[in-house]
Amino acid sequence: MMPRSTIEPIGFASLCHGIVAFSTLRDLHVDGGDSYARFNVCDYTGDAPAHIMACRSELCVALGIASGHLVMPRQTHSARVAIIDSDFMALNDDARSERLQGIDALVTPLPGVAVGVNTADCVPLLLRDVAAGIIAVAHAGWKGTVARIATRTVEAMQQLGAEPSRIEAAIGPSICPQCFEVGDEVVEQFAAAHFPVDAIVHRSAVTGKAHIDLWEANATALTEAGVPRELITLTHRCTRCNPERYFSARRLGIASGRTFTAIMRR
Ligand SMILES: [Zn+2]
């Protein structure tokens, strides 16, 4: 079994023992390690294939699933959502990879399948409608947030029978508003996409630079999509503030590991 310290549970508004939700932790030891240490399952940011496979296998053992039941997309900061159903599960590896290319959110009605996204400062969103048995995960960097990937994900869940009024959401480890300094051109994109700039943008009294609250921006998009605000949980864990626990692209550069945030119905 994986040491308990390698994964950290993510809580929702209510308790539901039939669904596991978690982020992986870097689990760095005192002697540190490289930018992919210790635990990374993302295979497109430059890590060694043998290390990635060892970490994936460790995770599958901990979750009690076969390797083919761990599903993650090849993210490109899009707002595209894929549905992981029995047809998808029947595909071979090449066909699956093709289907997952350029996808940034996954929705599934299947039990025993862990769907997750890889992030290092970007926002991982976890969603579930327990009554409908529908779960989802989305990667929302600032571009995906502006493109309302949160809304697209809720819509895909609805196609499978979920009700927005029942959907619970959790916003996983990602960059905090104090760490997320941006240029004014980014603020302009949020304004153009009709986000409430007054609520999500703050200016540093020291530098005058804009800081965006991606947690609040995604919570806003979710409530617009019909998810009750009281069912949205912000974990308030910052990836950049906690380098021993999470990967942070702002600290390590993009050639680094990723924190894997996932959800699975038992
Ligand atoms: Zn921070």
Peptide bond into 4 cis (omega under 30): no
Q: Convert the pLDDT of each residue in 61-106 to its tens digit.
A: 999 999 999 999 999 999 999 999 999 999 999 999 999 999 999 9
Whole-angstrom distance, CA of residue 238 vs CA of residue 245? 10
Inform me whether the pLDDT recorded for 111 exceeds 90.
yes
Instruction: Note the pTM of the prediction, 2 decimals.
Output: 0.96
CA 173–ligand 1 middle distance (angstroms): 10
CA 176–ligand 1 middle distance (angstroms): 4
Q: Which residues contact 233 (CB under 8 A, 6 or more apart)?
A: 11, 12, 13, 168, 169, 170, 171
pLDDT score of 84:
98
CA 22–ligand 1 middle distance (angstroms): 20
Inform me whether the pLDDT recorded for 31 exceeds 90.
no
CATH topology classification for 4-174+235-265:
CNF1/YfiH-like putative cysteine hydrolases (3.60.140)
pLDDT score of 3:
54
Domains of the chain by residue range: 4-174+235-265
Confidence at 48, pLDDT banded by 50, 70, 90: very high
* Residue 134: how many other CB atoms lie within 10 Å: 25
Radius of gyration of the chain (CA): 18
Q: Convert the pLDDT of each residue in 144-169 to its tens digit.
A: 999 999 999 999 999 999 999 999 99
CA 19–ligand 1 middle distance (angstroms): 28
Across the range 180-205, mean pLDDT stands at: 97
CA 14–ligand 1 middle distance (angstroms): 26
Contact 254, 181 (CB under 8 A): no
CA distances from 159 to 81, 100, 128, 140, 162 (A): 12, 19, 14, 21, 7
Please give the residue that has the higher pLDDT: either 3 or 261: 261
Nearest to 26 by CA among 264, 251, 263, 266: 251
CA 29–ligand 1 middle distance (angstroms): 21
Whole-angstrom distance, CA of residue 126 vs CA of residue 75? 16
Whole-angstrom distance, CA of residue 30 vs CA of residue 85? 42
CA 129–ligand 1 middle distance (angstroms): 30
CA 8–ligand 1 middle distance (angstroms): 18
Whole-angstrom distance, CA of residue 158 vs CA of residue 155? 5
Across the range 108-121, mean pLDDT stands at: 98
pLDDT score of 33:
79
CA distances from 107 to 46, 59, 66, 113, 153 (A): 27, 20, 19, 11, 7
CA 17–ligand 1 middle distance (angstroms): 30
Confidence at 201, pLDDT banded by 50, 70, 90: very high
HSE-up of residue 163 (Cα within 13 Å, Cβ side) = 5
Whole-angstrom distance, CA of residue 149 vs CA of residue 168? 16
pLDDT score of 74:
98
pLDDT score of 27:
80
Mean pLDDT (the chain) is 95
CA 179–ligand 1 middle distance (angstroms): 4
Contact 48, 36 (CB under 8 A): yes
Inform me whether the pLDDT recorded for 114 exceeds 80.
yes
Inform me whether the pLDDT recorded for 206 exceeds 90.
yes
pLDDT score of 35:
94
CA 237–ligand 1 middle distance (angstroms): 8
CA 23–ligand 1 middle distance (angstroms): 17
3-state secondary structure labels for all residues of 21-61: EEEECCCCECCECCCCCCCCCCCCCCCCHHHHHHHHHHHHH
Confidence at 6, pLDDT banded by 50, 70, 90: confident
Contact 134, 109 (CB under 8 A): yes
- In degrees and rounded to multiples of 5, residue 68 shows phi and psi of -70, -10
pLDDT score of 241:
97
CA 13–ligand 1 middle distance (angstroms): 23
SS3 content of the chain, % helix, strand, coil (to 5): 30, 25, 45
pLDDT score of 30:
53
CA 244–ligand 1 middle distance (angstroms): 13
CA 135–ligand 1 middle distance (angstroms): 28
CA 49–ligand 1 middle distance (angstroms): 30
